[in-house]
Structure 1
């Protein structure tokens, strides 16, 4: 077996031991993807930009949170809060507006970034992201090699670091333990020295992610923390707080890491008890129960001309310009008619302004390089479910997707977003059938993970997902290459 194939087999075996990779290709349970012999290399310049991006995105979340609160109290247009509350239950809206967590923000930030010929584009933000444990385990598996002339050689110990500024050339971004260290630092700060442990609560809807979050909990225990990945039913409620029963007796829960979506609350056992305990300050919860901060409508509000003064006032011209280059043009698919003299801002077809969404239904293939996405408060929001890519669909199917999105506005608002084509990369992966490393051309999605500690969003690792060229939507799948990012040699 050649060196590259042996590396892939060693990485695969490490992931199987971690319980994160299905041992057999035909297995009906577990996850598999294409394993590359090398990490995905990015330049030092790109890494520096991605590291700086964390604080830009944290500042955006702060401003976005403020925009919603200002809209609720009448200091900003009322339609902002109306859009963000659309389709949410009144009880959750009331709960999310409670004064005690008005300033709370997500403590984990993950943008999905597409490298294009014109630079990076952020297609969306995720504050309840999967992949934390996977990226951490991949970092450890690939981190057992050092990089020499762009290739990897096995080493006894890899450097450990959390901050990108300390990276050595060709190291895995964040170091082999950067993701675990970042998650631990975030959790400890969220717990604020209160006694008890952390419960990573994974719902049935998110059960596919339970193995990786169990792996994360195991690593936290290795670091001396009381931590467990649990089903909501495992929690025991008392008026004093939340508890977990175990061999050593009952353990108090200080922090719940919420790994379930807010749209799924009615199906999450004991969700109301978690919310009650948080309201009574018996437990801390992150991410907070604030649906506006998980909305895909955010980019549409960013690009709305009427809100530009607010964003610039909150973030400054320089930071606003940086984010405007990264956030693609996005519009809310609101079916209500607009006045005859008005047009939809910055939306054109063949150079002509658009005043009715249904004009898009008749656009030619080249003109409909657009993506329709559902609200973040929907079971369709995970993965590529509910996504329709205009130029990838026959015109009748595109028109039908547009009609469905407009018709569902009252319950599930949708957005339409400019499509940006990713750059082409050529990587290699281990083919099980031939037992050899083979090349694959594809397009990449980079998913940096930032953990908020001491008011800063710290980069801890980057997961690269590469799908073959015929795939229009890039996401984790069995035919995708998934690997951690490392710094390319100058």
Structure 2
């Protein structure tokens, strides 16, 4: 067993020369984040539930378009999107496609965990692959194993392909180059190229992994060639060009009473109940007036403008831009009401209502992460210290044939005073490892 100094030295020495995230730093720890065996089994089951959920979302949208489910479902999901993109996404040949990779952001809470959102174009694939490989040198219980992320990504582009990444997502280019190079090392006869989306030239028969958000299409001058090749069946693209699947509002639609029986039927009673336990209650900030006798569920208000008057105590609510906007990428379009001055909260509510038809916003119940302790290397003092922090877990699920495989779990441990948990300079980033019993909870 390596001692701590040797572990830290091993981690630093393994760091790729080109880095993993452009201009991004984080804190290093000699220890993976411990996950109890029982919870790891729960995560593995979650992957299949989320695949069924995404398929149900896909089905609901299409039934709405056909008039077999309420028309307002598709109306909400298509809001603010160019008609030609909507038309493209509805084509018959793409009907059954859903993303091959899903990464839910899980916040560990006192009672378990909640899913903050599901990312279909996730960053961190290469980073988690590198962390898993590096920590597996001294820990045999890393979730997904040393090569899990590489095997998972290989399943997405089994015969090689092009990882097409936009300038908007350039932060993640180094980690995808790392993935491509490692796969090339293992399969010398194949190639996984990382190429710029702005001037990409598709090659017939060559699969594409899309690493750009669909709101970014106007900035990609040559994208029509790629879309045409996809439309004509000359190339495949994953995640599929389906902007409606990349909306945060699915969590609000999940909780809507008129759709309850649809979700029960498509998910099955067991999965429906399980997802109710982990999907935070969410609302669409739709300014449409309600009948005089109606109220917004669980908030007991008749009009969203009343929410603008909530006291700070009642504002444990997150405002989130739903999708198809630069603000929906990362944590840029998220605000916690309790942390905003009252005037700013009111301004944001008013703005969300005014822009709903072009850029929908959701409101989501905030769940505070519970505290854990985790050691990290403090570069300023040159010492190992212990952080009390809150944890976001990012399990990476890959749809491989008829199975969903958990290939890695990235843990982001943020200082205790942070409420919105994401990658940051003062956060610890480590892989997760199976442990008989976790001892890091406070």
Query: TM-score, normalized by length of structure 1?
Result: 0.86
Q: CA deviation at 1:235?
A: 3.3
Asked if the contact 1:374–1:415 (Cα under 8 Å) also holds between the matched residues in 2, the reply is: yes
Give distance in 1, aligned partners of 2:366 and 2:240.
Answer: 31
Q: CA deviation at 1:285?
A: 0.4
Q: Secondary structure at the match of 1:366?
A: helix
Count how many residue pairs are aligned between Structure 1 and Structure 2: 434
Asked if the contact 1:199–1:253 (Cα under 8 Å) also holds between the matched residues in 2, the reply is: no
- Alignment match, 1:274: 226
- Alignment match, 1:368: 315
Correspondent of 1:301 among 227, 235, 253 = 253
- Alignment match, 2:440: none
Q: Secondary structure at the match of 1:362?
A: coil
- Alignment match, 2:338: 391
Give distance in 1, aligned partners of 2:257 and 2:327.
Answer: 29
Q: CA deviation at 1:233?
A: 4.8
Q: CA deviation at 1:18?
A: 5.9
Alignment CA distance shift 1:297-1:233 (3 Å): closer
Alignment CA distance shift 1:5-1:434 (3 Å): farther
Asked if the contact 1:388–1:401 (Cα under 8 Å) also holds between the matched residues in 2, the reply is: no
Give distance in 1, aligned partners of 2:176 and 2:182.
Answer: 10
Q: Secondary structure at the match of 1:200?
A: strand
Per-residue CA shift, 1:415-457, capped at 9, x if unaligned?
Answer: 0000001110011110111111111111000000001011222
Q: CA deviation at 1:471?
A: 0.9
Asked if the contact 2:198–2:219 (Cα under 8 Å) also holds between the matched residues in 1, the reply is: no
- Alignment match, 1:208: 171
Q: What is the RMSD of the two structures over their aligned residues, measured on CA atoms?
A: 1.5
Q: CA deviation at 1:97?
A: 0.2
Asked if the contact 1:5–1:437 (Cα under 8 Å) also holds between the matched residues in 2, the reply is: no
- Alignment match, 1:124: 117
Q: CA deviation at 1:102?
A: 0.6
- Alignment match, 1:232: 197
Asked if the contact 2:285–2:363 (Cα under 8 Å) also holds between the matched residues in 1, the reply is: yes
- Alignment match, 1:43: 36
Asked if the contact 2:65–2:74 (Cα under 8 Å) also holds between the matched residues in 1, the reply is: yes
Q: CA deviation at 1:402?
A: 1.2
- Alignment match, 1:161: none
Q: Does 1:474 align with 2:428?
A: no
Asked if the contact 1:5–1:435 (Cα under 8 Å) also holds between the matched residues in 2, the reply is: no
Give distance in 1, aligned partners of 2:324 and 2:49.
Answer: 24
- Alignment match, 2:145: 175
Asked if the contact 1:203–1:232 (Cα under 8 Å) also holds between the matched residues in 2, the reply is: yes
Correspondent of 1:186 among 156, 171, 182 = 156
Give distance in 2, aligned partners of 1:16 and 1:30.
Answer: 14
Per-residue CA shift, 1:13-69, capped at 9, x if unaligned?
Answer: 312446227xxxxxxx63210001100001001100000010000000111100000
Correspondent of 1:431 among 372, 375, 378 = 378
Q: Does 1:315 align with 2:278?
A: no
Correspondent of 2:76 among 83, 99, 105 = 83
- Alignment match, 1:24: none
- Alignment match, 2:107: 114
Query: TM-score, normalized by length of structure 2?
Result: 0.95
Note the residue ranges of structure 2 that are not aligned, 5 or more in a row. 438-442
Q: Secondary structure at the match of 1:388?
A: strand
